[in-house]
Amino acid sequence: IDISIELFPPKTAEGTQRLFEKVEELRKWNPAFFSMTYGAGGSTSRTTLELVDQLKNKVGIETMCHLTVSGQTKKQTFSILDRLRAMGVYNLIALRGDAPKESVVLEDGQSFKFARELVLEAKKRNYFSIAVAGFPEMHPDSKSQDDDIRYLKEKVDAGADVIITQLFFDNNYFYRYVDLVHKAGIKVPVIPGLLPILSVKQVRRFTALCKSKIPPAVEAKLSKYESDDDAARAYGIELTTQQCRD
């Protein structure tokens, strides 16, 4: 199985050091690439770009950069695309992103509102390999599954090369989603996004943020490990392994 590994920008120098130590450990599994997330409203923009540059050009591993448009001007987005190209980073996942915690007032036309607009802009540069997000359990802002698939098709028609899904803990969601994607005439690959459970607190926070469901069978297990992170982590490894093998 080919895998990629998603990383989050640390908030401290010590965290950054640990990140690179972990990356060296994970390299032995020969992931296809690592990806670095991008905080709401560009809140980690500088850190994300610095880490992507180091991973790509100093550590020497293939790296994908997350890029969101929410809370940022078009000028800022153009600048980041230009900087990524200058760094030799061509793998990009184009996202709308969450609104920043602190209110950012931008006039109409000053910023992009949708991921498909970022896809179009990146595609113009004739350089990037562009991924977009897919939602097996439907995006929280979509009114229906049909609308959700229509928005996905707009992103692919704009030039996306691959779809990477939001996390899920029941593979049936993924299989149904792929069927809907194919029926809509979308032909690019759909890559499942899996989250290994590290603690009960972690998985509850992540699923609340992205509005993903915890299936009853998984919830029953988690309820036993509320205060036992080691047991939760062991179960998380078992569950993710089962999802990969299915």
d(CA 197, CA 49): 27
14 is catalytic: no
d(CA 209, CA 205): 6
Torsion of CA 189, 155, 85, 49, to 10 degrees: -90
d(CA 158, CA 123): 8
Name the catalytic one among 6, 62, 154, 219: 6
d(CA 33, CA 14): 23
Q: Are 195 and 170 in contact (CB under 8 A)?
A: no
d(CA 138, CA 210): 10
Helices (H), the chain: 13-26, 45-54, 74-87, 115-124, 145-157, 171-183, 200-210, 216-222, 229-245
Q: 3-class DSSP state for residue 89?
A: coil
- Residues labelled as active-site residues: 6
